[in-house]
Amino acid sequence: MNLSINGRFLTQQVTGVQRVARELVNGINELIEEGAAPTQSVQILAPKSPLIDPPRLSHIPIHQVGHLGGHAWEQWELSKAAGNEMLLCLGNTAPALRLMANQPTAVMVHDLSFQYFPQAYGLAFRTAYKTLMPLILARSSVLFAVSEAERTKISERYSKAARRMRVIENGGLPDHIADIGTNPRPRTEDYALYVGTLSKLKNAQGLLKTAVSLVRQEGVKFKIVGSSGSVFSQFDIQCPEDVKRNIEFVGQVNDPNELARFYQDAVCLVFPSHYESSGLPPMEAMSQGCPVICSDIPALRERCADAAVYCDPIVPESITEAVRKVIHDGELRSQMSRRGVERARHYRWKTGAAKLLNYLNETAAL
């Protein structure tokens, strides 16, 4: 099987979806290098727009083709460049005309959150996805979900997609960095950590209320890693003067080595999302020995099992109490750290890449 990969993600800022694409491509490259990839050739097709931190791939060439960029490039020029070979799209979208022509196309559908939480997205985004997603789910040669929980949710809404949908579990940090966590170093600081975007979907308001409460009651410091923008103007909460010095907004961190250090130094990760299809930060934290507090929701239960302390994201007091329990109970922290490191060993990007290639080859054979 010859495989082309939709490289539009290389022109986008690196958030969760782009991280998944990058790590799976790195995993495929490693498998090719080891002679363990069941493919004849693999290439990435990308727009001629500037690439953001392009990966160094020894066995997967990146070809920049066409004249357009963004969504227009993906819809009009990508399919022509891919021809009749299998096209793998790792970022939720795919060329509509290609799907309608029944050309071999595989799509990773990370979630349908635009349907579950429409208030979290703009009108243009919702309109585009409402048009394209039913076509993707109806006409793709093979579909990939990122967890059994999300596969179930998608199948409930689109039952005909279920038989073509396979699960590729996400990893966490890059595999070589994740392995560092098997011997976590002593912490040099003492703070609670959040990693992710600050949005309604991620329960930013509940997180910030928890941070303010714990700073006041326990003297806990918080570090918040990820894009925040004008977060305090978007939500009801305002950051009071008496806690500002103890709540640090670090901003976006793309370097995985730097991100690993934040996890290594944190007393715990606080991850109270209203919804996740397969959150990356809990597994990143676990791999580095950082105890995890997360929402009691299906995808995170599936992913974290007994290696996390769970809270009710709708009830700020539940989040606060879970954090308080972890920071005051050293035995619990040690237990969660040990369980987390062990749990993280089950989620490696190269393992996901191998499963993905096997599924693609099965589809090509059919």
Helix axes 280-287, 330-344, angle to 10 degrees: 110
Q: What is the pLDDT of residue 181?
A: 55
Separation of alpha carbons 291 and 336, rounded Å: 5
Number of residues written out for the chain: 366
Q: Concatenated DSSP letters for 154-223? A: HHHH-GGGGGGEEE-----S-HHHHGGGGSPPPPSS-EEEEES--STTTTHHHHHHHHHHHHHHH---EE
pLDDT 10s digits, 10-69: 999 888 899 999 999 999 999 999 988 876 789 999 999 999 999 999 999 999 999 998
Q: Rounded to the nearest 5°, which phi and psi values hold at 211?
A: -60, -45
Neighbours of 318 (CB within 10 A): 18
- Fold of the CATH domain 175-344: Rossmann fold (3.40.50)
Q: Where are the domains of the chain?
A: 2-171+348-365, 175-344
Q: What is the pLDDT of residue 124?
A: 84
Give the global pTM: 0.90
Cβ-contact 210, 272 below 8 angstroms: yes
pLDDT 10s digits, 237-254: 466 778 888 898 888 888
Cα–Cα separations (whole angstroms), residue 175 to 154, 209, 250? 29, 34, 24
- Radius of gyration over alpha carbons of the chain, in Å? 21
Residue ranges of the chain with per-residue pLDDT less than 50? 229-237
Q: What is the pLDDT of residue 357?
A: 94
Cβ-contact 313, 306 below 8 angstroms: no
Give yes or no on whether 2-171+348-365 and 175-344 have one common fold.
yes
Separation of alpha carbons 27 and 60, rounded Å: 11
Bridge-based pairing of strands 191-195 and 86-89 is: unpaired
CA 64 to chain centre: 25
Q: What is the pLDDT of residue 69?
A: 87
Tell which CATH architecture fits domain 2-171+348-365: 3-Layer(aba) Sandwich (3.40)
Q: Concatenated DSSP letters for 244-293? A: GGGEEEEE----HHHHHHHHHHEEEEEE--S--SS-HHHHHHHHTT--EE
